[in-house]
Structure 1
Amino acid sequence: MAGLTYTDAVVVAGALVLGVTSGVLGAFAVLRRRSLVGDAVAHSTLPGVCVAFLVAGVKDVPGLLLGAAVAGLVAALLMVGVERTGRIPPDAATGVVLSGFFALGIVLLTHLSNSTDADQAGLENYLFGQAAGLLAGDVAVMAALGAVALLVVGVARRALTTTLFDPAYAGAIGLPVRVLETVMTALLVVAVVIGVRIVGAILMVAMLVVPTVTARQLADRFPRVLVLAGLVGAAVGVVGALAATRGRLPTGPVVVLTGFAVAVAALLFAPGRGVLWRAQRLAARRRAVRRDAVLVEPGAPVTGLRDRVTRAGLRRRGLLAADGRTLTPAGQAAAADLADRRALWTAWLAHGASVELPDAREPDPADLPGSLGADAVAQLRALANGGSRA
């Protein structure tokens, strides 16, 4: 980190630790559809910080983080317990616990602010974050907590993944589902505890959600999502921290805004999943439908501007004659191929259940031979002609 002052270097290092840890650990909350639990846990750390200060009497960072962790874990377990009563829906349980713990934290923080103890100054930074107050020792504590949490993920990844996506199956094969769910909750608490000093309790939920949202746009397999979420979180943390130090802006909000920009970019431009990619694919399909309609009935009346554009494109490709209403030999071949593809798709709808496939393949209506294979197409043709699969 050449060229950075001691304070800036510590801030960037802390943001890096936060990004990696929250990216990986937040994935378990996001993919469990429990993102708001992270928000509730983050807000619930405030009374823990205040109580830890009242007990210790000093702003000892490890002690305050321990208080935050205990309060966050109690809040998380309380939410789970309220949900399991079956009388209160999960979102309501989350809202009740979040508001209750946060209100308690505000009351305690106000009480401490009105006291004569000068050591209480700065506790409000756990609410809004103050990365500039980090010391190298604080970052070392955060890194140690993050390393332990990531080690747990590495060791228990298979069991955690099974419980995450199919708890019923996990229980059927003998995994301790309740224990593993508690572990995932504890990992979420660790991520929150690491982040409250940098981005604060209010914005911490963004660091739990943004990396996974971005990674999910770029990968399908959970191990890859975990790795990408950690990398995205690290990049967001470092870039945001550097931008904040260069602009002399508050680190937490700048880091969150950086993450927001990255997530929006992923939602828009991610290959295969992005909004713009899907819009482009939809437009291409619509063009193909209009093109196929002309190939099937080239002499049909021209219905509008799009039809004219479609026919002009077919003329440029040599599929339509100059009069715009007659197929060329190449156009006739394309029309025959279209008719064959449609016949194959009709055969698949009628006889697809009888076709033997080597694996679970997804048929593409526009390209059955490419998506199902030559053998499956041969079976379809035989079935459509009234023969057997052999």
Structure 2
Amino acid sequence: MAGLSAALGLPYTDAVVIAGSLVLGITSGVLGAFAVLRRRSLVGDAVAHATLPGVCVAFLVAGAKDVPGLLVGAALAGLVAALLMVGIERASRIRPDAAIGVVLSGFFAIGVVLLTHLSNSADADQAGLENYLFGQAAGLLERDIAVMAALAAAALVVVAVLRRALTTTLFDPGYAGSIGLPVRALETLMTALLVVAVVIGVRVVGAILMVAMLVVPTAAARQLADRFGAVLVLAGLIGAAVGVTGALTATRAQLPTGPVVVLTGFVVVMAALLLAPGRGVVWRARRLAARRRTVLRDAVLAHPDAPVTGLRDRLVRAELRRRGLLTRDGALTPAGEAAAREAAERRALWTAWLEHGSSIRLPDAREPDPTDLRGSLGDDAVAQLRARAGKGAADA
């Protein structure tokens, strides 16, 4: 850590905090993806809250704040809570969200009771246990980073080795079972990996905010990638960036690390939701506006002599005049006539799609664009549509 401190030009404490946040970001990004894509994000929240009684019990057993021992207690409590949630779902009529709520509230209440009991005791060694609730990255030591890094490395190796089996079980457990994969064991393993991520993060962001670090990287990565492998890599990179950026901001502003890291992640997710290419709100709004302009232009080109109906119609006609498609007296120029023929062809293709689209063979799932059917579906699909439309006209 002294070498890292010198390399970063930061004090020892700041270097340790940044290293811990980096390990947390990568691990929670990759391992949290399995919970988010299984729609089990709140399981991570319940597991994080369940670590508190585990820490307290481990302290009562050991009688000292031995970090590896406390983390073992947190891991065991988190695993018990996760398995209990699964058991409640499978053995009763309680819905998954209710099972999560029952386990989360029960374990967290036990943790608060134990923490209060320890705080009222005469044992001075218990001071600082509440940091597992709210997080205290500044209290990390070099040996803590070593333990976190070892846990993270082991979990990531498991993911790398079993990625195909985990991916199959994640998205299609029925098919996974039909090809002989141990579905129950793999689902339990995914839950155990989630517990590992939580155990790594409770010292940095605390049990209350840990769920954000499990969700944020995948939520942002999912806006930027479609393939699961790419989502895993992006989630790890985004988690690392969020952790390091948040830690640097917190150390510079002398603010608590955990909340600042989570706020940084929130900003990243909002930016991805707004600006992601192809999926962001801004991109979709621009595409919708462009489609509307195209429809209005096609309508004017089809009927240039129609009366002007409002401001939007005037603006469209002004644009067509600037592009040399419409004369000042409202007549089509030669270029405008060519554009009108193209618009008529697009309308004919769209009509053919509405009538015969269900019988067209496409290589994959594609969304047809009414204003650019050829670009969205491809030349082969357009040729099939023309053939179907021509056959339908001949039969009529």
Q: TM-score, normalised by structure 1?
A: 0.96
| Aligned residue in 2 for 1:348 | 353
| Aligned residue in 2 for 1:102 | 108
Q: Is the 8 A contact 2:29 2:236 kept in 1?
A: yes
Distance 1:188 1:210 in 2: 14
Which residues in structure 2 correspond to 1:326-337 (within 5 Å)?
326-337=331-342
CA deviations over 1:39-74 (Å, ceiling 9, x no partner): 111000000000000001010000000000000000
Q: Is the 8 A contact 1:379 1:388 kept in 2?
A: no
Residue from 16, 22, 43 that aligns with 1:10: 16
| Aligned residue in 2 for 1:85 | 91
| Aligned residue in 2 for 1:316 | 322
Displacement of 1:372: 3.8
CA deviations over 1:306-334 (Å, ceiling 9, x no partner): 111111001111111102x3222211111
Displacement of 1:363: 3.7
Distance 2:361 2:55 in 1: 62
Distance 1:382 1:89 in 2: 51
* SS at 1:315 equivalent: helix
| Aligned residue in 2 for 1:364 | 369
Runs of 4+ in 1 over 6 A off after TM superposition: none
Distance 1:343 1:69 in 2: 63
CA deviations over 1:72-123 (Å, ceiling 9, x no partner): 0000111111111351111111111100000000000000000011111100
| Aligned residue in 1 for 2:82 | 76
Distance 2:246 2:360 in 1: 54
| Aligned residue in 1 for 2:311 | 305
| Aligned residue in 1 for 2:124 | 118
| Aligned residue in 2 for 1:23 | 29
Q: Percent identity?
A: 81
| Aligned residue in 2 for 1:240 | 246
When residues 346 and 86 of structure 1 are mapped into structure 2, their CA distance, relative to the original with a 3 A threshold, is farther
Q: Does 1:211 align with 2:214?
A: no
Displacement of 1:271: 1.0
AA of the residue aligned to 1:385: G
Q: Is the 8 A contact 2:295 2:371 kept in 1?
A: no
| Aligned residue in 1 for 2:135 | 129
Residue from 144, 153, 156 that aligns with 1:150: 156
Gaps of at least 5 residues in structure 2 are 1-6
Q: Is the 8 A contact 1:236 1:258 kept in 2?
A: yes
Distance 1:313 1:338 in 2: 16
Q: TM-score, normalised by structure 2?
A: 0.94
When residues 359 and 215 of structure 1 are mapped into structure 2, their CA distance, relative to the original with a 3 A threshold, is closer
Q: Does 1:261 align with 2:281?
A: no
| Aligned residue in 2 for 1:38 | 44
Gaps of at least 5 residues in structure 1 are none
| Aligned residue in 2 for 1:279 | 285
Distance 1:10 1:81 in 2: 39
Q: Does 1:199 align with 2:205?
A: yes
When residues 165 and 358 of structure 1 are mapped into structure 2, their CA distance, relative to the original with a 3 A threshold, is closer
AA of the residue aligned to 2:341: A
When residues 34 and 344 of structure 1 are mapped into structure 2, their CA distance, relative to the original with a 3 A threshold, is same
Distance 2:392 2:103 in 1: 66
Q: Is the 8 A contact 2:291 2:371 kept in 1?
A: no
Q: Is the 8 A contact 2:56 2:114 kept in 1?
A: yes
Distance 2:320 2:171 in 1: 48
| Aligned residue in 1 for 2:195 | 189
Moved more, 380-389 or 288-297: 380-389
When residues 130 and 357 of structure 1 are mapped into structure 2, their CA distance, relative to the original with a 3 A threshold, is closer
* SS at 2:94 equivalent: coil
| Aligned residue in 1 for 2:4 | none
| Aligned residue in 2 for 1:139 | 145
Residue from 232, 257, 274 that aligns with 1:226: 232
When residues 121 and 375 of structure 1 are mapped into structure 2, their CA distance, relative to the original with a 3 A threshold, is closer
Distance 2:363 2:254 in 1: 60
Q: Is the 8 A contact 2:352 2:389 kept in 1?
A: yes
Displacement of 1:283: 1.1
Distance 1:166 1:375 in 2: 31
Q: Is the 8 A contact 1:382 1:388 kept in 2?
A: no
* SS at 2:91 equivalent: coil
When residues 226 and 381 of structure 1 are mapped into structure 2, their CA distance, relative to the original with a 3 A threshold, is same
AA of the residue aligned to 2:74: A
Question: What number of residue pairs does the alignment pair up?
Answer: 388
Displacement of 1:369: 3.1
| Aligned residue in 1 for 2:301 | 295
Distance 1:226 1:205 in 2: 17
Q: Is the 8 A contact 1:50 1:109 kept in 2?
A: yes
Q: Is the 8 A contact 1:198 1:252 kept in 2?
A: yes
